[in-house]
Structure 1
Amino acid sequence: MRLHESGDPATPPVLLLHGIGRSLEDWALQHPLLDGDYRVISIDMPGFGLSRRMPSPTTLAVLADGVWATLDTLGETRPVHLMGNSLGGAVSMAMLAAAPDRVSTLTLVNSAGFGKEVTVALRLLAVPGIGRQMLRRIDRLTAPRMERMIFADRTLVTPERIEMAIRIARQPDFVPVYLEIAKELGGLRGVAAAWRTELLAGIAASAKPTMLIWGERDLILPSKHLAAARAAFPHAQSHLFPRCGHMPQIECPDEFAGLVRPMLAGVAVP
């Protein structure tokens, strides 16, 4: 498992989880904004980024178990402030359902789990043969197109991000893990309803302090999903970033940290 850690290990832990096919680099800008007061840990989830996969077929539960096991290995057994972007949001909810006593707060950022609409590129992955072919053809021609779907500010499509996307796509676990989780979560018609309903039912009794964040110009998971997220978490705070895409933590880093900090600070340190 690949991870990045900053801040004093004695301070309350914050765990940052990325989206499908992504890596811990998507949280790099939040480390210096949070680690003055927190132990900040970002992880390449099993089979993504530069981490090896879990032995079992990849599901939300398997990803959640892998993340919990990583924290156990680090010796971090205190309740954590969970923050998840996209797929990482769904994994965060699965972690909350599995171990509510180990979660302090929940921040969902353009999270999967609140509607069937999703970009066509992800829906095509469910078509036999096409998905595998698409994922095997991530190169210097296709990677920039994928990165441009993520950001409203196209200046963020940097050579470094493109090179990292290509490096990730060349990892031996990348294609099978991507296809396994994509097929579990949905198909050609969009994100499946069954797992969303089951997951939200599993955390319905939890009233952890929650922040819901979305980018208004998200081309991956549309911002109208925020209304469904608010309905699922009626106690939560929420914010819609204008002129922002799928990763507000990158496009609006200071404003993002300013939003979540008061919620984190409002929780008593165990």
Structure 2
Amino acid sequence: MKPTAGGGPMKYVDVQTARIRYHESGDPQAPPVVLLHGIGRSLEDWDAQHPLLDTDHRVISIDLPGFGLSQRMPAPTTLSTLADGVWATLDALGETRPVHLMGNSLGGATSMQMLVDEPARVSTLTLVNSAGFGKEVTFALRALAIPGVGRQLLRRIDKVSAPRLERSVFAERAMVTPERVAMAIKLSRQPDFAAVYLEVAQALGGFRGIAPRWRAELLPRVARHAKPTLLVWGERDRILPSAHLAAARSAFPHASWHLFPGTGHMPQIERPEEFNKLVRPLLAA
């Protein structure tokens, strides 16, 4: 097995017709925590949380189907197919207990869909700079909806453009390491990367921003289950602005929340210890 960027083992499991990559740490008998990344990203976005959580949890991070180094599912990629793929992956790993779900960006929206689809299998929900709470999104994602432009942009992720993309997700420039740039280029060269990226982007929005219809349908269904929920945002998020946190609090009045100052789109990376301290009470409850 090859190592992940964070030094852990690279493992795969066969799910339907796809090979899905995952990283697991901790005691398999401990309460399970499942970590999901954002659009165009990979499970490496959760590497810093594994050693902080796996002292008393089974921690599983997953490359969403068609992203990271996972193969795509045969059906067009939507929130539903992503959620189905994660549940199927957990089944294949023998994890059928209720899980603590944590999702960043697209991973947050996928986590909400998973809760709606299988509420009995979810213990808690942690949404980190999650998609689903407003139409505003970075221009780079909206540009993908322009006919003929999206695929060309996704094919031009290289040593020049990759650092710019990485800088857009972090408030601190030091986070843009050579390893993260190299991983971004590697991910962009996977066979299904551009097709799956465009399918998701077009299913969830367009040039005007994130579409309202799926948000209006999903959020009330999530709220009806009222699972213990934590909303987390970075104040300097340039992908999904921190103003979305107010909409998230309105949609889920039962939820706890926290805004990290001076932090970008991935607080779990930029503020790993603080993030871990923040989620601990929810996991314990």
Whether 2:184 is the aligned partner of 1:165: answer: yes
2:80 to 61, 69, 74: 61
Between the aligned partners of 2:178 and 2:137, the Cα distance in structure 1 is 26
In the alignment, the residues of structure 2 paired with residue 179 and residue 201 of structure 1 have an alpha-carbon distance, to the nearest angstrom, of: 26
- The CA deviation at 1:226 is 0.1
Partner residue of 1:12 out of 31, 40, 43: 31
Give the Å deviation of 1:207: 1.1
Report the TM-score, using the length of structure 1 for normalisation. Answer: 0.98
Shift of 1:204: 2.4
Cα deviation per residue 1:138-167 (whole Å; 9 max; x = unaligned)?
A: 000100000000000000100000000000
Cα distance in 2 between the residues matched to 1:197 and 1:133: 31
Q: TM-score, normalised by structure 2?
A: 0.93
What residue in structure 2 maps to residue 190 of structure 1? Answer: 209
2:15 is aligned to none
Q: Tell me how far apart the structure 1 counterparts of residues 107 and 218 of structure 2 sit (CA, whole Å).
A: 14
Q: Is the 8 A contact 2:135 2:212 kept in 1?
A: yes
| Counterpart in the other structure of 2:242 | 223
Match of 1:36 among 39, 55, 60: 55
How many Å separate the matches in 2 of 1:199 and 1:215? 23
Q: Secondary structure at the match of 1:213?
A: strand
Amino acid at match of 2:185: I
Aligned residue identity for 1:119: T
Question: Matches of 1:33 and 1:236 in 2, distance apart?
Answer: 23
1:85 aligns with 2:104: yes
Deviation at 1:210, TM superposition (A): 0.3
| Aligned position for 1:250 | 269
The offset of 1:61, in angstroms, is: 0.1
Identify the residue that residue 107 of structure 1 maps to in structure 2: 126
**Inter-partner Cα distance in structure 2 for 1:262 and 1:226:** 20
Residue segments in structure 2 that go unaligned for 5+ positions in a row: 1-19
Matching residue of 2:91: 72
Q: RMSD of the alignment, in Å? A: 0.4
- Separation in 2, partners of 1:221, 1:38: 30
Distance in structure 2 (CA, Å) of the matches to 1:201 and 1:54: 28
Letter in 2 for 1:254: E
Aligned runs of 1:134-149 on 2, under 5 Å? 134-149=153-168
Structure 2 CA distance, aligned partners of 1:183 and 1:207? Answer: 29
Quote the Cα distance in structure 1 between the aligned partners of 2:226 and 2:138.
31
Q: Is the 8 A contact 2:32 2:100 kept in 1?
A: yes
**2:222 and 2:38 mapped to 1: Cα distance?**
20
**Fraction of identical pairs, as percent:** 74
Q: Which residue of structure 2 lines up, in the alignment, with residue 132 of structure 1?
A: 151
> Can you give the 5+ residue segments of structure 1 that lack an aligned partner in the other structure?
none
* The one of 49, 52, 59 aligned to 2:68: 49
Mapped pair 1:214 → 2:233: yes
Q: Distance in 2 between matches of 1:203 and 1:152?
A: 30
- Aligned-residue offset at 1:203: 1.5
Q: C-alpha separation between the residues in 2 aligned to 1:201 and 1:155?
A: 39
Q: Distance in 2 between matches of 1:111 and 1:67?
A: 17
Partners of 1:93 and 1:137 lie apart in 2 by: 32
Q: Does 1:261 align with 2:280?
A: yes
Q: Following TM superposition, by how much is the alpha carbon of 1:202 offset from its aligned partner in structure 2, in angstroms?
A: 1.8
Distance 1:124 1:52 in 2: 25
The Cα offsets for residues 92-116 of structure 1, whole Å up to 9 and x where unpaired, read as: 0000000000000000000000000
3-state DSSP of counterpart to 2:262: coil
